[in-house]
Amino acid sequence: MVGGKPSGEGELRPGAGAGGGHGEAQGLESVLAEVAKGDHAAFRAVYDQTAAAVLGIVRRVLRDPAQSEEVMQEVLLEVWRSAARFDASAGSANAWIMMLAHRRAVDRVRSEERAAARELRATVAVIEYDEVSDAALATLEQERVRRCLGGLTDLQRQSVTLAYYGGHSYREVAQLLGVAVGTVKTRMRDGLIRLRDCLGVE
């Protein structure tokens, strides 16, 4: 865990981007510290290291390519704006940025769903898992996540991916899967724990 690192110095995250993959987090904390001081070159580096993963997760949730690009830009600019508020004791810079991205995508979906008629996209349960590796960008990292997802029980995997990739609340996931909300809550937690252990997250 990153916990309590005082200076925001560079940190090598083992396993991340071993295949030169996107979302590589090498030294992201120290780059972010420079961004916080208004360094545009550092912001460029953050963009290069994270934009693909940000766009990826946003697009997973939103589906609409044009809207996703817009949200990706918003997320990166939010990183620029809030870089000084990044708190290394709460986790890695990469996890922080992905959290901002996912939240913003989910917020966007939920505000639209409140406005429009609710449509439960039941099909995501089937396609998400197989889609995990985008052929054009298949990297070692993606293979690894895919393999680790494969190690989850069906219910764990569906609970995690419907929430994270599908942007559904846990109550919606319970309804989609036809199981009790209590079951979904624990499957999400257990699924993430298994994923964490499999991926060797510190």
**From the list 31, 32, 62, 184, which residue makes contact with other proteins (rule: CB under 8 A)?**
184
Region binding other proteins by CB under 8 A among candidate stretches 4-12, 119-127, 138-146: 138-146
Per-residue mark of binding to other proteins, 36-75 (x: CB under 8 A): x-x-x--xx--x---xxxxxxx-xx--------xx-xxx-
**From the list 141, 152, 158, 176, which residue makes contact with other proteins (rule: CB under 8 A)?**
141
The residue type of 121 is R
Burial degree of 179 (CB within 10 A; 0-12, 13-18, 19+): middle
| Residue closer to other proteins (CB basis): 10 or 140 | 140
Query: Which residues within the stretch 88-117 sit at the binding site for other proteins (CB under 8 A)?
Result: 90-92, 94-96, 98-104, 106-108, 110-112, 114-115
Query: Which residues within the stretch 152-181 sit at the binding site for other proteins (CB under 8 A)?
Result: 159-161, 163-165, 167-170, 173
* Nearest distance from C-beta of residue 104 to other proteins, angstroms: 7
